[in-house]
């Protein structure tokens, strides 16, 4: 199997990681930051051109207000603090999801990260923030209708948050959960899934490399029959 062009990661298990240590959930989210750094490093090392990270779903608003606020503050911090190094590494940052409802400070950080990294060409790093696959599809349908376009897959895609993003070849999920939780549901139609029991804050470069290796041994048939 050729190398994956797009690896999508559902970063899950921060809360359980913290609970196992008798810490508040926020400590788990903060610890997840290092795992993000390791994963970006690993993606660059493995030569993966697109990496997407599920950071906050449209359903995560169901969490206590304090936790939602803490997460947004953390995302804001990460974007301001990590962008310069990412730019130096040739990383281009994109943020997908609904902007409405996000606090001003976070919106400013997103703008900064996307603008400052716009010429990066080594890795496309996509942060899915206030993102839901169903929401994205509905939004694309609304745009298609408004533009009077015929309903084709190609035309629908034009209304996605990032039309040029290739479909994920591999989806990694941590903390053992066997579901996609509304992440890239259209794009993931033929994605290969790889799940680890590790909680997100414990995820490292070696896990990423293991997932890629496993992917390379998979046989993707896309509904056809084996080649050979």
13 binds ligand IPE per the rule CB under 6 A:
yes
Minimum CB separation of residue 128 from ligand IPE in Å reads 7
Residue selected from 40, 71, 91, 113 as contacting ligand IPE according to rule CB under 6 A: 71
Residue selected from 66, 111, 142, 177 as contacting ligand IPE according to rule CB under 6 A: 177
Residue selected from 6, 7, 8, 12 as contacting ligand IPE according to rule CB under 6 A: 12
79 binds ligand IPE per the rule CB under 6 A:
no
136 binds ligand IPE per the rule CB under 6 A:
no
Nearer to Mg ion, 12 or 82 (CB): 12
211 makes contact, choosing from ligand IPE, Mg ion, none, with CB < 5 to 8 Å by partner type, with none
CB 215 within 8 A of CB 170: yes
Nearer to ligand IPE, 11 or 188 (CB): 11
Phi then psi dihedrals of residue 106, to 5 deg: -70, -40
User: What's the alpha-carbon Rg for the chain, to the nearest Å?
Assistant: 18
The DSSP letter of residue 2 is P
Residue selected from 41, 49, 60, 193 as contacting ligand IPE according to rule CB under 6 A: 60
Q: Which of 44, 40, 58, 107 is nearest to 79 (CA)?
A: 107
User: What does the H/E/C string look like for 54-102?
Assistant: EEEECCHHHCCHHHHHHHHHHHHHHHHHHHHHHHHCCEEEEEECCCCCC
The CA distance from 50 to 42, in Å, is 12
What amino acid positions are annotated as catalytic residues? 12, 60
Residues of this chain that interact with ligand IPE (CB under 6 A) are 10-16, 54-57, 60, 71, 175, 177, 179, 181, 200
């Amino acid at each position: 199997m050729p190398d994956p062009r797009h690896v999508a990661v559902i970063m899950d298990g921060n809360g359980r990681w913290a609970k196992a240590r008798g810490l508040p959930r926020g400590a788990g989210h903060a610890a997840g930051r290092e795992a993000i750094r390791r994963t970006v490093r690993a993606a660059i090392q493995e030569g993966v051109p697109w990496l997407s990270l599920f950071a906050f779903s449209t359903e995560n608003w169901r969490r206590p207000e304090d936790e939602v606020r803490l997460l947004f503050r953390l995302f804001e911090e990460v974007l301001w603090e990590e962008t310069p190094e990412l730019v130096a590494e040739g990383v281009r940052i994109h943020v997908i999801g609904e902007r409405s409802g996000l606090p001003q400070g976070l919106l400013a950080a997103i703008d900064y990260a996307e603008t400052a990294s716009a010429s990066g060409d080594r890795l496309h790093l996509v942060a899915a923030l206030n993102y839901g696959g169903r929401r994205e599809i509905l939004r694309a349908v609304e745009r298609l209708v408004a533009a009077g376009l015929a309903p084709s897959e190609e035309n629908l895609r034009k209304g996605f948050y990032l039309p040029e993003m290739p479909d994920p070849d591999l989806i990694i999920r941590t903390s053992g959960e066997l579901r996609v939780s509304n992440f890239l549901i259209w794009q993931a139609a033929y994605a290969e899934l790889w799940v680890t029991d590790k909680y997100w804050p414990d995820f490292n470069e070696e896990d990423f490399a293991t997932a890629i290796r496993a992917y390379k041994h998979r046989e993707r048939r896309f509904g056809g029959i084996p080649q050979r």
